[in-house]
Structure 1
């Protein structure tokens, strides 16, 4: 009887000692399961004042096999399950700290469904300005495990847009099923900015909004009749003016050519006279000939009054 009592006491002592040893390794803090674009990562924080050689082990739970080891003896404070974990179903995770042969208690997460809890990133948005409208082209975000439309049967987009300097006065287009949407009734020659997010109707899940992309609208391409008439009239004036300029340029050019290169030929002795230098023999003969003798004649000036008096007196002039 005494032996049995001692054995029980020793057993209780061993259990208390083991518990005290286990409790010497502090457990990880702030353990959380996060999923972005169907990726699955378990993250945690190292306990306060943890030694530098502390390691961790991580396990995940399935209905068929219970907890399964995944990351063992790692120094990082995260474990990635993205490539090997189904996006469907319910998952649980747990992690513990290890120091040589000693371990901390397991820290377990609540149940987690990737398709339900994952955060969807921002799509890619491209704008095309065309005939007064702006076409929005949306591309789904890149997913880490499954394609977005393979998981959700109905994927749509919420789109908001605004004038570049009026971000607080935006307009919304909700639950757009097409990845190409045209923004109508825009002001011409105005810069608009656009953002889009993925929207899952059945779970009311909204993804992250994309970065704002801006583009300038143009006119609708429809020309008013008076503008057409004005353009045609201006074109006619330009054509007629061009024709007149060409005509007068050709006319005066022709006259100039005729003047420089006349069709009538000069006699040969005229050409020879024009070609000879100024000191020709004719000019020299004129210079060497004696000057002609000047001849002078007396001139009398008779006024009308003198002529009248002479006539009365009978005196001849």
Structure 2
């Protein structure tokens, strides 16, 4: 005799066969993370090969719209349904000319979807101090990426901190309203673990925790600057100093060109000045007190028709010469003057 369970199953199969019905899908559920939603179900209890499934949805009192039609797998992506408001989703099984009853499930996208974990980045700059930077998970939609603040408004981030070497002892529970915060008052040179989650206060909805992030706080002897940062700082200073020197040099060159222009003599002037004989041949020295030169007196030609007049003129000329020497106070003997008689 067959067990009671098998008897019920056989009776159900006979009922479905007689009435042209087929058993409906089982355990219908929705798995949704950041509005990436998938409707899943299990095959009917009375399973046959080549069973297909159809999935539909509707908003409020509108007509049903097909999401997946006559598929062989037991899941359907329903991410295309509207984000706001309540949606009704249903699925049925189909075999040859037989169909099952619809199985309905309601779903509100923004309320029922799971919030993914934020990305956590932590740096230790000073002894006992950590800087925490969180990055929101994003919703991927047809019009691009949307953040938690875009869809939910106010978001609170919960940050859990515990010592790694103390068996998970919790030391700090921080609530952050921004994605960046400085955590101080920790033990220097100590290993800590951190994880964070987003919390939507308006919907009383908590997101998934991030993976554990391990970090050691800086020692009291640490400068807080790692070698990479020190190298970047030194290169930046070197580039800045070189740029300032270049600017100062350019300003100096321009100033010198404007206020102190440089001139170059022509080549023939340089050649002329390079020969000292030219400069002294025609220019007498100004330091000499006396001029050294001979005076020349021209005596007129004696007329042929008389000797008395010529002698008288010669006597007058000598007197004029003697008077001129006395007036100029020249300490030269009259012998320096030569009387030339015209032929």
Structure 2 length-normalised TM: 0.56
Moved over 6 A (4+): none
- Equivalent position of 1:121 in the other structure: 116
Match of 2:78 among 74, 78, 81: 81
Q: 1:31-53: CA deviations, max 9, x gaps?
A: 11232112222111111241120
SS of 2:110 mapped into structure 1:
helix
- Secondary structure (helix, strand or coil) at the match of 2:29 reads strand
Task: Identify the match of residue 52 of structure 2 among 50, 55, 79.
Answer: 55
TM-superposed CA distance for 1:76, in Å, is: 1.1
CA–CA distance in 1 between the matches of 2:20 and 2:206?
Answer: 43
Pair 1:208 & 2:208 matched: yes
Distance 1:70 1:113 in 2: 16
Q: Deviations over 1:185-225 (max 9, x none)?
A: 111111111000011111221111111111111145799xx
Aligned residues: 205
Unpaired stretches in structure 1, ≥5 consecutive residues: 1-16, 224-317
Distance 1:156 1:22, change over 3 A: farther
Q: Equivalents in 2 of 1:195, 1:176: separation in Å?
A: 13
Alpha carbons 1:131, 1:221 under 8 Å: kept:
no
| Structure 2 match to 1:240 | none
8 Å contact kept, 1:120–1:206: yes
* Cα drift, residue 167 of structure 1: 4.5
Match of 2:41 in 1: 44
Q: Secondary structure at the match of 1:151?
A: helix
Q: Which protein, 1 or 2, shows the higher relative CO under an 8 Å CA cutoff with sep ≥ 6? A: 1
Secondary structure of the residue that 1:116 maps to in structure 2? helix
CA distance in 2, matches of 1:197, 1:216: 21
> Is the contact made by 1:56 and 1:96 (CA closer than 8 Å) also made in structure 2?
yes
What does 1:266-281 correspond to in 2, within 5 Å? Answer: none
Greater Cα radius of gyration, structure 1 or 2 = 2
Is the 1:23–1:104 contact (alpha carbons within 8 Å) kept by the matching residues of 2?
A: no
What is the TM-score of this pair, normalised by structure 1? 0.60
Query: Aligned to 2:86, which of 90, 94, 97?
Result: 90
Please say if residues 137 and 147 of structure 2, whose CA atoms lie closer than 8 Å, have aligned partners that are also in contact.
no
- CA drift of 1:142 comes to 3.3
Mapped partners of 2:22, 2:94: distance in 1: 7
Q: 1:114 to 1:99 in 2, by over 3 A?
A: same
Contact 1:58 1:96 in 2 (8 A): yes
Query: Does the 8 A contact of 2:117 with 2:137 survive in 1?
Result: yes
**CA deviation string 1:107-163 (max 9, x = no partner):** 111x32111111111111111110121111111123233432211010120000111
205 and 171 in structure 1: CA distance in 2 versus 1, 3 angstrom threshold: farther
Report Cα offsets for 1:6-52 as digits up to 9, x if no partner.
xxxxxxxxxxx997555542110001123211222211111124112
What is residue 68 of structure 2 aligned with on the other side? 71
Mark the runs of 5 or more structure 2 residues left unpaired by the alignment: 1-13, 224-343
| Equivalent residue, structure 2, for 1:161 | 161
Contact 2:163 2:171 in 1 (8 A): no
CA RMSD of aligned residues (A): 2.3
- The reply on whether 1:104 has 2:100 as its aligned counterpart is yes
**Structure-1 separation of matches of 2:24 and 2:162:** 50
- The DSSP-based 3-state class of the residue aligned with 1:66 is coil
- Which residue is equivalent to 2:131? 135
CA-to-aligned-CA distance 1:264-289 (integer Å, 9 cap, x gap): xxxxxxxxxxxxxxxxxxxxxxxxxx
